[in-house]
Amino acid sequence: MRGSDVQVRWWTRVEYEQLVEKGVFMPGERVELIDGLLLVGEPLSSAHFSAVRLAELALARAFGDG
């Protein structure tokens, strides 16, 4: 497929939430809406998950929840 054949569909937050409500994604499927694009996350290894979780906890301590 040539690069010019690829089409991008931008999604709104409301459209994304409707897809979730309708069960379009499988339970546990790692799909995120980032800047209007639906991205499928790769499975995390336990080491990667641990590193992300530790960073999340450190940021929450430094800046508060959220």
- Count of structural domains, the chain: 1
The token pair at 64 is: 């508060």
Give CA–CA dist 32/36, Å, rounded.
Answer: 10
* pLDDT-based confidence at residue 64 (cuts at 50, 70, 90): confident
Q: Which pLDDT score, from 0 to 100, does residue 35 have?
A: 92
Q: Which pLDDT score, from 0 to 100, does residue 2 have?
A: 60
* pLDDT-based confidence at residue 1 (cuts at 50, 70, 90): low
Cβ neighbors of 43 (< 8 A, separation 6 or more) are: 30
Domain that holds residue 17: 3-63
Element (H, E) at 34: strand 31-34
pLDDT tens-digit profile of 4-59?
A: 677 888 999 999 999 999 999 988 888 899 999 998 887 777 888 888 889 999 99
3-state helix, strand, coil in the chain (%, to 5): 45, 10, 40
